[in-house]
Amino acid sequence: MLLLYTSVFTFPFLYFLFSHFLLNKTFSFSYFSYLPPLSLDMSLTTLLVFLTFAVKLPIYGLHFWLPIAHVEAPTFGSIILAGVLLKLGGVGLLRFTSICDYADLSSFTLSYFIIITFFVTLICCFQSDFKRLVAYSSVSHIITVPFLLLSNSSLSLKSTMLIMLFHGLSSPALFILVGVAYSIFQTRQLISSRGILVLNPLLSLMLVLAFFFTLSAPPFPSFIREVLFMLSRLHLSKALIGLFLAYAFLSLVYNLN
């Protein structure tokens, strides 16, 4: 399935890159201000670039393999996947902001992202498997990147970089703690993982700190990311602030679980 997604969304992007190469004789980003031949307009170019990297980000709905892959993979594999591989999609979207107008996509993708964000967050609230909970919470956090790109402001770009930076720290840390907890209890079911404070106070402290870091609670530096995120979303629509506050509340619910 991963190979299928990569092939379908990458081959048109390779055509886009090689068209640029034939036109400019280089792959340098400094020359990417020109559109490729064969009349690819700006809207089509933006959609093509966005879908290519959105699969790798990943956007829930463009894939269904990530939570399953996290649960079946060893702890080290989950760390590499969440901390490195998934960031390639966000970095790609940022690097192509000079030639893509992501704001054009907001008219027909904003509602989809809002629905998917609440759907994934609600899934997190009802998870009983510890590793699956961390996997879905990872998707719930990273899906905020498209909202910032649709805002199309300098503040949103800074917020996007902070989200990917802190997500690259918090998500691998949580997967490490899940692996340690599994080695103690031999199960990932939350209802069976009780008494951690008595068995291992240090692990209990690390879990609390990791989840508060993920929750973006002060005084953790991720709190700055959350504030910038809230401010950046005002560029989309001030009417959406209530929905995003509800999203933040649901994030608090599953983090305190």
Q: How confident is the prediction for the chain on average, in pLDDT?
A: 79
Is pLDDT at 124 greater than 70 in this prediction? yes
* Residue 118 banded pLDDT, cuts 50, 70, 90: confident
Please state the φ and ψ torsions of residue 129, each to the nearest 5 degrees. -90, 125
Is pLDDT at 155 greater than 70 in this prediction? yes
Q: What is the pLDDT of residue 251?
A: 82
Instruction: Write the pLDDT tens digit of every residue in 60-112.
Output: 777 767 777 777 778 888 888 888 877 888 888 888 877 777 777 777 778 88
Annotate 157-169 with b (16+ C-beta within 10 A) or e (fewer).
Answer: bebbbbbbebbbb
Name the residue with higher pLDDT: 237 or 249.
249
Q: What is the pLDDT of residue 34?
A: 52
Tokens read off for 17: 């890159």
Instruction: Write the pLDDT tens digit of every residue in 16-59.
Output: 778 777 777 777 766 665 554 444 566 777 788 888 888 877 77
Please state the φ and ψ torsions of residue 189, each to the nearest 5 degrees. -75, 125
Helix, strand or coil, per DSSP, at residue 100: coil
Share of the chain above pLDDT 70, in %: 91
Number of Cβ within a 10 Å radius of residue 155: 15
The mean per-residue pLDDT over the stretch 122-133 comes to 84
Which range is least confidently modeled, 2-6, 67-71, 126-130, 188-192?
Answer: 2-6
Q: What is the pLDDT of residue 33?
A: 54
